[in-house]
Structure 1
Amino acid sequence: MKNLVCKSFLAMGLLSTSFGVFAAGDVDNGEKIANAECVACHGQGGNSSTPAFPKIAGLGDKYLLKQLLDIKNASANGDPKKPKRQVNEMAGLLDNKTDKDLEDIAAYYAAQSMQLSGAQDVQVQVNSGAKVDGLKLGARVYRAGNLETGVPACTGCHSPTGMGNAPAVFPRLSGQHADYIEKQLKAFRAGDRTNDGETQVMREVAAKMSDAEIKAVANFISGLN
């Protein structure tokens, strides 16, 4: 257990220094851009009403800026040497945005407050075939991980309350749509999302998680505060 925790915190330190992205945007200008171009999908103040589009309020300016840059870099004219994140719903939407525009957008959304989605009473089927309480399983995985399979606790990076660590570029998870969190964990596990830094910390964590654990922890996180 000690080695697992040490490895997790070592990865955290390496990941937090690998992004090299620092946002210092203009909140007022970011609000103008957001209200004109982002609100239809991400909702007023970054609180989207549908799981198809993530809530981006209060995620931290460094994290938001990194995601925007990575999404922009996934376009046809992106730099193949830089991290990229393919998001089909945003294809081409950032192509004409300057880095300063993206800094401003990140600063605006980072200053907003995220609304909780709320967890649900669900059952999930584990690999024995048994159906278990999804909230209890999610809470256990989030807080303690899974020692048998090497899954570290989510609290190490994202904090016990799910508020993340903005200076270290670990995003807030608390209140996010459960379906969206589940989708991202499965994308990391499948290698469809790869912009988690050179240490591949999220890919390594997700690779060890079962479908039941992913669904359970995603549901738990949506109501965590």
Structure 2
Amino acid sequence: MKKLIAGVVLGVSLSATAYGAGDPQAGEANAAVCAGCHGQGGAQPVVAEYPKLSGLGETYLHRQLQLIKPQDRPIPSMMGLLDNMSDQDLQDLAAYFDSQDMIIGKANPELVDLGEKIYRGGNLASSVPSCAACHSPDGKGNEPAGYPRLSGQSADYVVKQLKAYRSGERDSGPFASVMMDVASGLTDEEIEAVASYVSGLH
């Protein structure tokens, strides 16, 4: 929990220096290579475990692209795709995807109650904080701090990432330790429920 609090404080102090620095029109020119997996505008991935990129937040997207390019966050299917892009290209790409509309899904009605409980109130018994504290009550994230939008994100992708944080597989980036702490207290059932809940949150 101490790591979590420290991470949240760090997130606030690391307000995006590059917030709004990208050019969406310039980013669109490089986005065609992304459409094969993430769909047009990053809104409809061809595989449920791939993330929706639309509207996630420019700061968050830029940071992830900065990690993916040198394979600090290894994603085999993206190896080499960003090699010829400058940091400004990455910023523009992030701005383009952030400017696109997120398509909201529909949560599984059987999981809504537990998902909402975890998202809004966490689980005191396992020291899991509410997701809403960082990602906002409506799931639209916190752009200045670089916390991504969760509203509308693919449930399968959220499940995969929470399990990757929990196992320590995903450990790169300034807030990875925060998410690893959060995920360490979540059961499989809670992960499935909160992932479903955010997919339909709006």
Normalised by the length of structure 2, the TM-score is: 0.92
Contact 1:30 1:105 in 2 (8 A): yes
Higher relative CO (CA 8 A, sep ≥ 6), structure 1 or 2?
A: 2
1:86 matches 2:79: no
Instruction: List per-residue Cα deviations over 1:82-137 (Å, max 9, x = no partner).
Output: xx211122112111211111011011111111011211234xxxxxxxxxxx2211
Contact 1:18 1:197 in 2 (8 A): no
Q: Distance in 2 between matches of 1:72 and 1:224?
A: 31
CA separation of 1:160/1:147 partners in 2, compared to 1, >3 Å: closer, same or farther? same
Q: Distance in 2 between matches of 1:89 and 1:118?
A: 27
Contact 2:7 2:175 in 1 (8 A): no
Correspondence for 1:172: 149
Q: Which runs of 5+ in 1 are unaligned?
A: 75-83, 123-133
Correspondence for 1:184: 161
Shift of 1:27: 1.2
Residues matched between the structures, number:
200
Q: Which runs of 5+ in 2 are unaligned?
A: none
Contact 2:24 2:96 in 1 (8 A): yes
Q: Distance in 1 between matches of 2:122 and 2:11?
A: 19
1:51 matches 2:53: no
**Moved runs in structure 1, 4+ residues, more than 2 A?**
6-11, 15-21
Shift of 1:48: 2.0
Contact 1:9 1:156 in 2 (8 A): no
Contact 2:107 2:199 in 1 (8 A): yes
Between the aligned residues of both structures, percent identity stands at 47
73, 81, 85: which one aligns with 2:70: 73
Alignment of structure 1 residues 1-225 onto 2, 5 Å: 8=4, 10-18=6-14, 22-23=18-19, 24-34=21-31, 36-49=32-45, 50-74=47-71, 84-122=72-110, 134-197=111-174, 200-225=177-202
Q: Distance in 2 between matches of 1:156 and 1:198?
A: 14
Q: For the aligned residues, what is the CA RMSD?
A: 2.0
CA separation of 1:72/1:16 partners in 2, compared to 1, >3 Å: closer, same or farther? farther
Q: Distance in 1 between matches of 2:40 and 2:16?
A: 29
Shift of 1:13: 2.0
Shift of 1:181: 0.2
Bigger mean CA deviation after superposition, 43-52 or 109-118: 43-52
Correspondence for 1:131: none
Q: Distance in 1 between matches of 2:176 and 2:42?
A: 29
Alignment-mate amino acid for residue 160 of structure 2: K
